[in-house]
Structure 1
Amino acid sequence: MSYKVAITEQNKGQILVFDRTAQFTDANVKWSFSTGNAPGWDHPFEIRFRDTRRYGAIALMTFGSPGEGRAGIVNVTSDAHLTRADLLWSTRITSYPHSIERVPDAGTVVVAGSRDRLHVFGPSSSDLATLKEVQTLEFTKAHAVLWDDQSNLLWVTGGTVVRTYRVKATMRAARLEKAGPDITIAGNGHDIQPDYARPGTLLVCDSHHVYALDKATRKVTTIASLAYPKSYVRHSSGQAMWTTDPNVDDSEWGGRSVHFSTGGDRSRPGAQIYRARLYTTRFH
């Protein structure tokens, strides 16, 4: 099964894209964003690809350490190997940003700060450089945010909660409004992704579990028990991909391997891989 995989490699401050069937070596890097581990730009946590009418495909990213972080957006199609000089937009976020999402049509960008904040940014035009923070909400241990274009809901997880929001208005007037009942998980919610093999289902992971979440009924079912999963997703073929923190007693937030349910794992010696994402702009 061949598809592209993006990883957040925290040791060297890089986001790297590989073919799933290739070894994850420097020679096989298909696309990259490198930060130089500048202050606030160390430890990449999120990478997500989305389509826009103005720019084509863009990459949304978050980085940082407690008290000093960044969110940024680059144009994926501009070059194969990008740096901070290529940013279309970036902003400082001190709440330790772990995830970022863009809501199409509204033009809104939402950043999950794991120090208990959701940051909502709205633009004044289609120019991403005009994004400005328009709303800040409290959300305990916010770690992951995902837009669902089927139900027009923003899903967020952190702590022992999965919560949904509607996006009211657009551009600088955009605001999040809580919608529907909260969903309780064992906690500490770390990731939420589509299940590309099962429409209508999301995949949520916390400190020790992976759940299938039925979007219609909001029922959660445990599908895997893992030690400290940081990301989990399923390709349309049914192949699952995940990352874990193999040693929670050290200062690193990930390991050197990306795990797959079939076909063999992929590793980078010395790497600290926090999340692995499918290289796709699809929401479901």
Structure 2
Amino acid sequence: MDSPHPTPGAAAPVNYKVAITEQRTGQILVFDRTAQWADADVHWSFSTGNAPGWDHPFEIRFRDTRRYGALALMTFGSPGEGRAAIVDMSGKAHVTRADLVWSARITSYPHCIERVPGAGTVVVAGSRDRLHVFGPSSSDPATLKEVQTLEFAKAHAVLWDDQNGLLWVTGGTVIRTYRVDGTMRASRLVRQGPDITIAGNGHDIQPDYSRPGTLLVADSHHVYAVDKATRRLTTLASLPYPKSYVRHAGGQAMWTTDPNDEDSVWGGPTVHFSEGGDRTRAAAQIYKARLYTTRFH
């Protein structure tokens, strides 16, 4: 291991770092893109112990803060019992629930989490039917408290757009945007702009790091490019049940799929890449794969 934890955003085009949500073992793992993804190749990990409400990690993303530096934002759970959580990444390479700086019980099956810089706001997508908005009373994430709940059927993904000051959300057949009014405990989401209609159940929103004005949205069978300025939607690919899709600044695409939509497992052992070969971790159940970066675009 070259350091206690990798440096977000410092990846070279041919060998960047990838984080996966591994649902069989209840772990989030960070690997080099070009490694073999064996246990000895793990750069950073978060382990839940598969405690009730902490099983099935669904989301991992990395965000910068003035107080803590890089934080990892995560969601976990099963229908009716889940958690949203934040952990400080500055200390150790392998962390557990004992290292959390904040967590909250989310019973609406949380699939995604985002932090809005400046406002201190955290938004969690409960995939059953709602968005949960948390505001802090200070710069300490431990003070986060739920301040707003919005109905949003099948909310699966949220992403902050720092270029346009908007929160993008997808779920069901809708992509929707919100502005954030107020800060801290006064933070509130307000709908902004027209909805965009997609064909299937929206599952993921990520930046296209090779085209900063573009977002990538995955639904049940498609991947779309969304122009953030015009809201124009273009179909990029047809895939079987994509769970995550992103493109590195160097142009390489990375995605995960559900290889068997008929069973109770929502991922397989393989992360797919548009070039350079896929990566497989034997017996893993990988829901999402994320670039290890704190960048929003």
Q: Does 1:280 align with 2:290?
A: no
Residue 132, structure 1, aligned to residue 156, structure 2: no
State the partner residue of 1:268.
281
Shift of 1:134: 0.0
Quote how far apart the aligned CAs of 1:24 are. Answer: 1.0
Q: Out of 53, 58, 80, which is 1:40 matched to?
A: 53
SS of 2:40's equivalent in the other structure is helix
Provide the rounded CA distance (Å) in 2 between the counterparts of 1:129 and 1:15: 21
Q: Aligned partners of 2:212, 2:77: CA distance in 1, in Å?
A: 33
The residue type equivalent to 2:111 in the other structure is: H
**Pair 1:183 & 2:196 matched:** yes
* Deviation of 1:28 (Å): 0.1
CA shift, 1:78, in A, is 1.4
Partner of 1:82 in structure 2? 95
2:188 aligned with 1:171, yes or no? no
Q: Quick one: distance in 2 between partners of 1:187 and 1:225?
A: 12
Matches within 5 A, 1:111-126: 111-126=124-139
Backbone CA RMSD of aligned residues: 0.4
Shift of 1:136: 0.1
Q: CA deviation at 1:187?
A: 1.5
> CA-to-partner distance for each residue in 1:184-213, whole Å, 9 max, x for gaps?
000200000000001200000000000000
Q: Tell me the residue number matched to 1:69.
A: 82
- Residue 93 (structure 1) aligned to one of 84, 98, 106: 106
Unaligned 5+ residue runs, structure 1? Answer: none
CA distance in 2, matches of 1:224, 1:27: 34
The separation in 2 between residues aligned to 1:216 and 1:147, in whole angstroms, is 14
Look up the SS of the partner of 2:90 in the other structure.
helix
Percent of aligned pairs with the same amino acid: 82
Letter in 2 for 1:53: R
After TM superposition, the score normalised by the length of structure 1 is 1.00
Instruction: Confirm whether residue 22 of structure 1 aligns to residue 35 of structure 2.
Output: yes
Structure 1 residue ranges, 4+ long, deviating more than 4 angstroms after superposition: none
Instruction: From 241, 247, 272, give the equivalent of 1:259.
Output: 272
Give the C-alpha shift of residue 98 in structure 1: 0.1
Q: Distance in 1 between matches of 2:230 and 2:38?
A: 42
Counterparts of 1:205 and 1:127, CA distance in 2 = 33
Alignment partners' CA distance in 2, 1:82 and 1:168: 34
Displacement after TM superposition at 1:181 (Å): 0.1
In 1: Cα distance, 2:184 partner to 2:90 partner: 24
SS, match of residue 181 in structure 1:
coil
Name structure 2 gaps, 5 residues minimum: 1-13
Structure 1 residue 7, shift from structure 2 partner:
0.2
1:229 paired residue among 230, 242, 245 = 242
Aligned length: 284
Q: Could you tell me the TM-score, scaled by structure 2's length?
A: 0.95
Shift of residue 232, structure 1, vs aligned partner: 0.1
Q: Per-residue deviation at 1:139?
A: 0.4
Deviations 1:130-158 (A, max 9, x none): 00000000001000000000000000000
